[in-house]
Amino acid sequence: MGILPPNLRPDIEALRVDMAVANLRDAVKDGWSVLALSTGMVDAFTDQTGIASLGGATWASGALSNRSAATVGNTRATDGSPGASWTYTDRAYSIPNGVTVSSVGIWSNATSGNGTLYIMERVGAGSYVVRASQAITFTATGWLDVALSYVVPGSSTFYVGAWVNNASVGVTPSGAFATYNGQASGSFSASETTGSMHTTRVTYSGSPGAVTVVSGAFALGFQPSVARIVSPVELGGGAIGTDCLLDLSRDGAAWAAVPLSDLGKFDASTRIVGGLVSLAGQPAGSSIYWRWRATAAYAGKNHGIWLQCK
C-alpha cells in the first residue's frame, strides 16, 4: 500500500465527515419516509438550552459525557514578575491520579511573548520528569488555556509547570514550587522552595459515573402517540440498552423506554443508536421530552438527539 500524499489528507478527512453526516442523515430519513412520522426536533448540544437537568453528566464541546470534570489550580492574588526563562513547577496543588487531563492554563498579564506549559512528575526530592507539554502564546490578559491530553497514572505525584520568556505574567505570592534555570525537558533537578511563581490551572475528567440527563419540554401542538429517537453515541465498550439507555415522555414524569438498535457507524468511535416507541399509554401531553441514561460501567458521550413523532 502506497503512502498517502500529504495534499490529499485534508480531502480524506472531509470525506470521513461527509460519510458520518450521510449515515446520520439516512438514519433520520427513515423516520420520515418509512415510518411516516410527521414532525420532530433536534438538539446538537451546541449549548445547554434544551437540557433541564444534567443529572451528573458533564456538557462540553457539543457533547454530554458521563465522566465528571473539574478545574483546579492556584488563585491569582497580586501581580509580580517571576523570572523569565525559568521553569516553575507549581507544587501548591497536584493533579489527581487516574484522571484524564484535557487542558492546562496560566494567568497572563502580558499580550506578547510565548512559553510552554507542562505536566511534571515528581520522582523524588528535587527530581522531576516532563511527562507532557504544550506551547502557549500570550495574546491576551486573563486566563489562557491550551489543550493538552494526558492520562495521569494511578500512582506518583504530578504537577503543572510553566516556562515563559516574558516576566509580566500573573503570580501568586506564597506557594510551594520548584525552579529550574532554563526551559525544562526530559528529566531535570529543581530547587524546591516557596514564593512567587506563575498562576496555573488544569482541567481534567474523572472516572465514569451513572448519569440521567433530562431534557426540557419541546412543544408539538398535538399529543404524540408514537415517537422515534436517533442519537450518535460513543459507547466506550458499553452495551446498547444496558449501559446506554434512551427514554421518551409526553409529560416529563412518565417515561417509555425506547428499544434501541445499532443503526450504523457515525465515525471511528461513535455509533448511531435509535428506536421507535409507543407513547399511547402515557399521561396526556402535547410536548415531547427525552432522557439519556448511562451507567458507570463505561465512559460514554452523547453527541445529539434527533426526535421524530406523530
> Is residue 221 helix, strand or coil?
coil
pTM above 0.85, yes or no: no
Q: Residue 145: how many CB atoms within 10 A of its CB?
A: 17
Q: Are 145 and 104 in contact (CB under 8 A)?
A: yes
Q: What is the mean pLDDT of each run of 10 residues along the chain (310 residues)?
A: 38 41 54 58 88 90 82 69 81 91 91 94 97 95 92 96 84 80 95 87 88 94 91 90 96 96 86 92 94 92 89
Domains in the chain: boundaries: 27-66+209-309, 68-206
Q: Which three cell numbers stand for residue 16?
A: 470521513
- Note the CATH number of domain 68-206: 2.60.120
pLDDT score at 39? 76
DSSP letter string over 82-132?
A: PPTTEEEEEEEEEEPTT-EEEEEEEEE--SS-EEEEEEEEEEETTEEEEEE
Are 27-66+209-309 and 68-206 in the same CATH fold?
A: yes
Candidates 2.60.120.260, 3.90.1200.10, 3.40.50.1480, 2.30.30.30; CATH matching 27-66+209-309: 2.60.120.260
Given the DSSP bridges, would you call strands 67-73 and 200-208 parallel, antiparallel or unpaired? antiparallel
The angle formed by the CA atoms of residues 25, 29 and 35, to the nearest 5 degrees, is 155
Q: Are 228 and 238 in contact (CB under 8 A)?
A: no
